[in-house]
């Protein structure tokens, strides 16, 4: 595989994953949005769904040979012009730590930063919405301070509540509904991201941006509920 | 209308799935055994994708509020109508007031674990974002976006023109058996990170049996077997995934994504069970030991064609029977 050429791999017989190399960047994401817009018009594809610097392509039916579709994707990738950001900004107030941020202690332990430093670094950026995924209305955000990176949990948590603000690897996000998660929950906010009665059913879209603001900070708890 | 009288829980309204809502963060949902749904609907004269009830815990019982034909496919659950035994993979007619009961699936290598109850006219819940399937996270589709409870009353759609057929169908588990070394098997394609695992882990994945642990459901099957280790720890960027993807979290025990699974992942993917074999996994009970069988793209297409030809034969037979007015 030559450096710079995206990798296209089958996900069984029902989808392909398009995965360009390199560090995660907004520039690459803007090209991913453009490629998605182009590819979702192709009749052999059901959907072209951006992930974080990658693209899921679901197939109407598995083609006899993959190579022509792969070649077409690579050619389109070379030709696309990056799409601009949508420009809408959503500001979310976060209650950091305490019972609502049960894994803040793990982020402290891994990053060796103080709680104040973590909160300051987490509220500083304007986070572009890279992609929708994980669960209905959930936004994958770019732009997290790499110093906050914390590995996903060895064993996923059975359920974390809607509004949970969490860190997984080099990414951060907000749960749009209660459910299982492998990420580290550091706080909570209030926001309705998904409403099936709306058209489209999501409120925040790729190309929009989110900013976090401190509502309050509580000391981290240990998972057994005690104070460290 | 039918009324749910008794359920062990986790029964839900499903059709073939929601296939164009990944963009909003919804997975496919849909039945775990699509051939069973199609077969039930073909017997009833419904469109193949009409919504039905998927039942995975027993006993389960419903009462018919009006005369209505029904079909039972999937796991053979010793079903009875007012106490009279019913044949699996066939249709029946209920009178108003009659009680249909399903008990624990019978034992046996190909017994299955999920039953499909189809109703003539299909279950008439609203189509939401392209499907009637129940999407639990976000409470979308199905019956109020949730599992069925005793007392729920489900409406059926208008009767189709084609008559119900009094035939029994040979289930695909018998028509299309697949075993490796005496264990049930599913075919899978290597996925993007397959070669990032150690050679020993790659070999173990394909050559060792895997046990379906009790932490397995419509979201995903957590498997127990040899510990799978990547050459170096991998943190991937989040990306879309589909049912069948086999992810390996840091603990080294794989998880197969199933129909209620989330549409994105970030753990390394060692393989993906092909769509044509997902029903096999969907019918394997907890505790089953099974094997992954590695295939290439051509073999995966051949498996897809094999299932499709089973379906084509079924369509041909049902339309022939109707043409002869045996129905």
pLDDT tens column, A136-147? 999 999 899 999
pLDDT at B325: 67
What is the average pLDDT across A165-176?
93
Q: Higher confidence at residue A155 or residue B317?
A: B317
Burial class (CB in 10 A: 0-12, 13-18, 19+), B104: middle
Contact B325, B299 (CB under 8 A): no
pLDDT at A224 over 80: no
pLDDT at A152: 87
Residues 6+ apart with CB under 8 A from B207: none
pLDDT at A1 over 50: no
Confidence of residue A226 (pLDDT cuts 50, 70, 90): very low
Dist. CA B208–CA B186, nearest whole Å: 13
Q: Which residues of A touch B214 (CB under 8 A)?
A: none
Dist. CA A66–CA A45, nearest whole Å: 13
Dist. CA A210–CA A126, nearest whole Å: 6
- Which of A1-15, A50-64, B279-293 is the least confident region? A1-15
Reference B181, options B152, B151, B207; nearest CA is B207
Three-class DSSP category at B277? helix
Q: Which residues of B touch A13 (CB under 8 A)?
A: 189, 274-276, 300-301, 304
- Measure CB to CB from residue B26 to each of A55, A136, A140 and give the nearest one: A136
pLDDT at A2 over 50: no
CB contact under 8 A, B240 and A17: yes
B190 min Cα distance to partner chain A (Å): 8
Reference B213, options B281, B287, B278, B283; nearest CA is B287
pLDDT at A222 over 80: no
A137 min Cα distance to partner chain B (Å): 6
> What sign has the CA pseudo-torsion B115, B118, B119, B125?
positive
Task: Find which of B240, B242, B243 to mutate to test the A interface (most A CBs within 10 Å of its CB).
Answer: B240
Q: Which residue of B has its CA nearest to A63?
A: B301
Residues 6+ apart with CB under 8 A from B243: A14, B27, B28, B257, B258, B259, B261, B275, B278
| Backbone region of residue A22 per phi and psi (left: phi > 0; alpha: psi in -120 to 50; beta: other values) | left
> What sign has the CA pseudo-torsion B161, B162, B166, B171?
negative
What is the average pLDDT across B222-234?
95
Confidence of residue A228 (pLDDT cuts 50, 70, 90): very low
Reference B130, options A56, A14, A201; nearest CA is A201
Q: Which residues of B touch A138 (CB under 8 A)?
A: 25
Q: Which residues of B touch A7 (CB under 8 A)?
A: 192
pLDDT at B327: 46
Residues 6+ apart with CB under 8 A from A117: none
Q: Cis peptide before B303, with omega less than 30 degrees from 0?
A: no
pLDDT at A181: 86
Share of chain A above pLDDT 90, in %: 82
What is the average pLDDT across A4-26?
95
Instruction: Return mean pLDDT, chain B.
Output: 95
Tell me the angle at which helices B297-323 and B34-44 cross, rounded to the nearest 10 degrees: 20
Q: Extract the tokens encoding A201.
A: 């059913």
Backbone φ and ψ of B250, nearest 5°: -60, -30
Task: Find which of B238, B243, B304 to mutate to test the A interface (most A CBs within 10 Å of its CB).
Answer: B238
Q: Which residues of A touch B241 (CB under 8 A)?
A: 11, 56
A111 min Cα distance to partner chain B (Å): 16
pLDDT at A223: 59
B262 min Cα distance to partner chain A (Å): 5
pLDDT in tens, A75-130: 999 999 999 887 899 999 999 999 999 999 999 999 999 999 999 999 999 999 99
ipTM of the complex: 0.95
Dist. CA A75–CA A81, nearest whole Å: 13
Secondary element (H or E) of residue A78: helix A67-79
Is the pTM of the predicted complex or chain greater than 0.80?
A: yes
Q: Which residues of B touch A68 (CB under 8 A)?
A: none
Q: Extract the tokens encoding A146.
A: 């790499």
pLDDT in tens, B115-150: 999 999 999 999 999 999 999 988 999 999 999 999
Confidence of residue A154 (pLDDT cuts 50, 70, 90): confident
What is the average pLDDT across B231-241?
90
pLDDT at A51: 96
Q: Cis peptide before B59, with omega less than 30 degrees from 0?
A: yes
């Amino acid at each position: 595989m030559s450096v710079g050429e995206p990798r296209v791999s089958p996900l069984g017989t029902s989808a392909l994953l398009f995965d360009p190399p390199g560090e995660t960047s907004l520039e690459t994401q803007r090209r991913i949005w453009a490629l998605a817009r182009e590819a979702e018009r192709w009749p052999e594809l059901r959907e072209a769904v951006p992930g974080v610097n990658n693209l899921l392509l679901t197939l109407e039916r598995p083609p006899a040979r993959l190579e022509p579709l792969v070649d077409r994707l690579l050619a389109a990738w070379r030709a696309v012009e990056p799409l601009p950001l949508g420009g809408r900004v959503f500001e979310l107030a976060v209650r950091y730590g305490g019972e609502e941020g049960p894994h803040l202690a793990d982020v402290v332990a891994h990053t060796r930063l103080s709680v104040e430093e973590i909160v300051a670094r987490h509220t500083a950026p304007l986070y572009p919405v890279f992609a929708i995924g994980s669960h209905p209305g959930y936004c994958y955000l770019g732009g997290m301070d790499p110093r906050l990176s914390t590995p996903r949990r060895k064993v996923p948590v059975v359920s974390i509540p809607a509004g949970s603000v969490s860190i997984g690897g080099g990414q951060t996000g907000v749960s749009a509904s209660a459910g299982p998660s492998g990420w580290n929950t550091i706080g909570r906010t209030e926001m309705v991201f998904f409403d099936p009665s709306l058209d489209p059913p999501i409120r925040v879209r790729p190309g929009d941006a989110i900013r976090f603001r401190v509502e309050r900070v509580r000391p981290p708890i240990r998972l057994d509920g005690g104070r460290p | 209308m039918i009324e749910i009288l008794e359920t062990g829980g986790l029964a839900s309204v499903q059709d073939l799935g929601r296939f164009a809502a990944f963009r909003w963060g919804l997975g496919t949902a849909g039945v775990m055994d699509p051939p069973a749904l199609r077969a039930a609907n073909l017997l009833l004269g419904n469109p193949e994708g009409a919504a039905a009830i998927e039942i995975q815990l027993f006993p389960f019982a419903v009462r018919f509020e009006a005369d209505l034909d029904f079909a039972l496919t999937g796991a053979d659950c010793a079903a009875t109508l007012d106490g009279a035994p019913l044949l699996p993979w066939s249709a029946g007619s209920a009178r108003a007031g009659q009680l249909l009961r399903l008990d624990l699936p019978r034992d046996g290598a190909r017994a299955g674990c999920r039953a499909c109850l189809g109703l003539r006219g299909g279950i008439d819940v609203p189509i939401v974002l392209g499907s009637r399937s129940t999407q639990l996270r976000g409470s979308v589709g199905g019956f109020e976006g949730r599992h069925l409870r005793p007392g729920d009353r489900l409406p059926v759609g208008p009767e189709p023109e084609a008559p119900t057929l009094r035939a029994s169908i040979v289930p695909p588990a018998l028509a299309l058996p697949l075993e490796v070394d005496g264990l049930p098997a599913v075919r899978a394609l290597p996925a993007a990170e397959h070669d990032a695992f150690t050679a020993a882990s790659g070999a173990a994945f394909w050559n060792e049996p895997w046990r379906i642990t009790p932490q397995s459901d419509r979201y995903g099957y957590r498997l127990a077997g040899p510990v799978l280790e990547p050459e170096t720890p991998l943190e991937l960027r989040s990306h879309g995934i589909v049912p069948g993807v086999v992810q390996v979290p840091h603990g080294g025990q794989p998880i197969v994504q199933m129909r209620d699974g989330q549409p994105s992942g970030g753990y390394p993917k060692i393989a993906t069970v092909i769509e044509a074999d997902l029903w096999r996994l969907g019918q394997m009970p907890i505790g089953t030991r099974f094997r992954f069988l590695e295939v290439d793209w051509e073999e995966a297409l051949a498996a897809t064609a094999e299932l499709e030809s089973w379906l084509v034969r079924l369509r041909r037979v049902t339309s022939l029977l109707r043409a002869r007015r045996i129905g």
